[in-house]
Amino acid sequence: MEVMLAVLVGVLVAAAVYLMLAQNVLRFLFGLILISNAANLTIFAAGRVSTGQPPLIPEGADAPIGFVANALPQALVLTAIVIGFGLFAFALVLAFRAYEALGTLNSDEMRVAEPMEDRP
């Protein structure tokens, strides 16, 4: 099953990179969301997937009974999802403010920090 996830991750990454290279900042944000998802799936797949039980310890036992899903990548992905969301929210506000201040979403036209006049 990891094979399918690997292909899926590749597709998501390709779509994300293409979107992030666009001029429109909104498209860049779409790409950012897709690449976060791809990263999460990568971590998840690297810990191997199994259609088994979630990593829970039944009442009365000291350890999970039988084979359960790998808990470690799940914990990592949980953290990554939340941080990815924080990043996205900040980037969205930034893009929104940039549009308000500069009147454009085209990143080629956002030249306040490195204006064309500076270039010899």
Partner 1 sequence: MATHGTDDAGKAPWLTVAGMAPVLLALALFAALLQAIPAVSAGESLRFAWDWVPSLGISLSFLIDGLSLIFGLLITGIGALVFLYSSKYLAGHAHFTRFALFLALFMLSMLGLVLADNLLTLFVFWELTTITSYLLIGFDHATGKARRSALQALLLTGTGGLALLAGFILIGTVAGTFELSEIRAQGNVLQDHALYLPILILVLAGAFTKSAQFPLHFWLPNAMAAPTPVSAYLHSATMVKAGVYLMARMHPNLGGTDVWLWTLTIAGAVTAVFASVMALKQTDLKQALAYTTLMALGTLTLFLAADVGYAITAAMTFLIVHSLYKAALFLVVGIIDHGTGTRDVYKLGGLAKAMPITAIAAGIAALSMAGFPPFLGFIGKELKYAGALAVQSEPFLVAGAVLLANALMLAVAGIVSFSPFWRRKHLADDLNAHEAPWPMLVGPVVLAALGAVFGIFPDLLAYSLVNPGVAAILGDDVKPAELKLWAGVNLPLILSLATFTLGIVIYIYRQSLRDRLAAMGERAISLDRGWDRVLGGLKATAAWQTRVIQSGVLRHYLFITFATLFVAVGGTLLARGGFNVDVSMPDMLLKHWVVILLIFAGAMLTLTTSSRIAAIAGLGAVGIGVALIFIIFGAPDVAITQLLVETLVVVLFGVAALKLPKLDPGGEKTHRPLDALLAIGIGVVVTLVLLMVTDGPLDRRLTTYFETASWPDAFGRNIVNVILVDFRALDTFGEIAVVVIAALGAFALLKGRKTEEEKP
Cβ–Cβ under 8 Å, residues 80 and 36: yes
**Using the rule CB under 8 A, is 106 a contact of partner 1?**
yes
**Using the rule CB under 8 A, is 102 a contact of partner 1?**
no
Q: Which residues within the stretch 77-96 sit at the binding site for partner 1 (CB under 8 A)?
A: 77-79, 81-90, 92-96
**Using the rule CB under 8 A, is 100 a contact of partner 1?**
yes
CB of 100 to partner 1, least distance (A): 6
Q: What is the DSSP string of 19-44?
A: HHTSSBHHHHHHHHHHHHHHHHHHHH
Question: Cα–Cα–Cα angle for 63, 66, 69, nearest 5°?
Answer: 85
**Using the rule CB under 8 A, is 17 a contact of partner 1?**
yes
